[in-house]
Amino acid sequence: MPIHLTCWLLVACLVPAGPLAPQGQPGGPGGGGGAQPAAQGRTSDPEALAQGEAARAQETSLSFAELNEVLISRRAGGAKGREILKHLLDTKLLGRLAEESRLVISPAQLDLRTKELEKSIVAEGAAASLAEYLAQSGVAPDVFREHLRLAMIQEILARRALGTPEGEEVNAEKQEMWLSQVLESRGAQMPPPPWADGVAARCGDLEVRVSDYLEYMRLLLPADDVREDCFQLLLQKRVRARMPDLAPEALAKAVEAELARRRKEHELDPRYRGLSYEQVMGAQGLQAPYLKQDPAVVIAALATLWVDRTQGPEGLRATYAKEREHFDGRYGEAVDTRMIFLRAAELPNQLIPRDFAAAERELDGLKSGIKTADDFGRLARQRTEENSTREKEGRIGFVTRQDERLPPILCEALFQAKPAADGTALVGPVRVQDGVCLLWAGVRRPAPGWEEMAGHVHRELRKRFLEGVLTKDLVRTYLDRP
């Protein structure tokens, strides 16, 4: 029989191997918050999380209940969250269908299919054994076997329903089509959050409880997304603790101002023309009713309040005067810039077939054909080897004296160039670490007035404040195994 890895087995490969808390423990199924890794109860490790903790940063603790609120508001409505919910509903339905059809996958059948899969894994060179493959993937053997059992149930029932002869493959697309038809015929429902009745999905009399769904989300969401949520929640707590006298009304007003700022910024972005800020956030999973509670919004509002409280207008001016070279270098006078980049090395090789001198000769040869920005743009589209700007005809945008997007030597060359009568200049070739650049220096934008520069100073002070409150390297989450 051909080995067929269904979507169930593929999803299983995302599940971490940590054991789950026993039924009925706080946070487990029936305990109000979803299962948690048993390792969280350890006390011998001074950095280990306590029972019920989702994350910690020094003395600041984050509970699973707090994390769950953000997962529902920020992740459940997104594409990945709904995919996870459907996966959980599908697994419940497959279990029910197996009961109804009296289909039992015996341990011997599981062992046989496991051996077939192991042969395939070894033959493909993925690992020396199934055990090694599971260890590399972070998949617990018991989780693997359960999802393999479900995969076999799906395959057998789909084969029966479709009338496919034994020995003939029922591919993943056909299996999914069959299962989708069963879900539809039984009236499957996946309403958006919030779920006031505690049920996230239904299919006939089958239910996916929110607590079970949260457990699955914490396991199957991308680890970086969960860690980011934990970090932001901990940061919000620590920032809020810096302002114990802050009235709720003042915070609410600051949050409204932050949302207004984001909506205005959104309206100016041509990528979102015709779509409201709320619509775009909703498409990403963050529902409109939760925007005012979203940690990213609250953190930004709190940071604004902190800088306003501690600096004020005079403090901003004092900071600018003290660090004028820094702020002018980052946000001051700027040159509208385009670039043609050719890779080069000291000694040519198979990957880089030209040396620096050859690259300089190529770029020098282009100069005679460049009279305007359009000329430069056309050549940039044809010749540049810098992928991110090729489709933009070499356009980088306005570059300041200390622009972090370019090596300092290029910024210096741009500002030292002597413009022609029309205010433009052709700059280079200029050597950089991995190649040679030809630059088009277009119009110069003068340094902004104080009102705009004050905004830059304010923003940088907010960033410095937040970095001083908490950095990500101090955060430990339930995903970080001891």
- Quick one: 101 and 134 in the same domain? yes
- Quick one: 268 and 290 in the same domain? yes
At residue 170, the pLDDT reads 85
Buried b / exposed e across 432-446, counting CB within 10 Å, b at 16+? beebbbbbbbbeeee
Q: Which amino acid is at 244?
A: P
- Quick one: 181 and 147 in the same domain? yes
- Quick one: 90 and 179 in the same domain? yes
Confidence class for position 67, pLDDT limits 50, 70, 90:
very high
**CATH number, position 352:** 3.10.50.40
At residue 474, the pLDDT reads 95
Confidence class for position 482, pLDDT limits 50, 70, 90:
low
- Residue 240 belongs to some domain of the structure: no
- Residue 416 belongs to some domain of the structure: yes
- At residue 2, does pLDDT exceed 60? no
**Alpha carbon distance 107, 148 (integer Å):** 11
For the chain, percent of residues with pLDDT exceeding 70: 90
- Which of 221, 254, 271 finishes a domain? 221
- Quick one: 92 and 196 in the same domain? yes
- Quick one: 466 and 341 in the same domain? no
- Residue 130 belongs to some domain of the structure: yes
- At residue 53, does pLDDT exceed 70? yes
Out of 98-102, 252-256, 289-293, 429-433, which region has the weakest mean confidence (pLDDT)? 289-293
Mean pLDDT of 371-376: 92
At residue 47, the pLDDT reads 63
At residue 84, the pLDDT reads 92
- Quick one: 169 and 283 in the same domain? no
Mean pLDDT of 327-353: 92
Out of 61-70, 135-144, 229-238, 306-315, which region has the weakest mean confidence (pLDDT)? 135-144
- At residue 338, does pLDDT exceed 60? yes
Q: Domain residues for 361? A: 333-445
Sign of torsion, CA 290 291 296 302?
A: negative
- Quick one: 315 and 342 in the same domain? no
**Alpha carbon distance 272, 406 (integer Å):** 28
At residue 355, the pLDDT reads 92
- At residue 334, does pLDDT exceed 60? yes
Which of 142, 145, 465, 437 lies closest to 301 in space, CA to CA? 465
- Which of 221, 255, 287 finishes a domain? 221
At residue 289, the pLDDT reads 82
- Quick one: 286 and 349 in the same domain? no
Which is more confident, 27 or 394?
Answer: 394
- At residue 351, does pLDDT exceed 80? yes
Confidence class for position 269, pLDDT limits 50, 70, 90:
confident
Residues 5-20 have pLDDT tens digits of: 333 444 444 333 333 3
- Residue 372 belongs to some domain of the structure: yes
Query: Environment class of residue 196 by beta-carbon count within 10 Å: exposed (0-12), middle (13-18) or buried (19+)?
Result: exposed
Q: Give the Cβ contact number of residue 84 at 10 Å.
A: 22
Out of 23-27, 44-48, 257-261, 379-383, which region has the weakest mean confidence (pLDDT)? 23-27
- Quick one: 70 and 141 in the same domain? yes
**Backbone angle region of 167, left / alpha / beta, with phi > 0 → left and psi within -120 to 50 → alpha:** left
- Quick one: 26 and 64 in the same domain? yes
Q: Give the N- to C-terminal CA distance of the chain in Å, as an integer.
A: 41
The rounded mean pLDDT for the chain is 86
- Quick one: 206 and 274 in the same domain? no
Confidence class for position 209, pLDDT limits 50, 70, 90:
very high
Residue 388: φ, ψ to 5°: -70, -20
- How many structural domains comprise the chain? 3
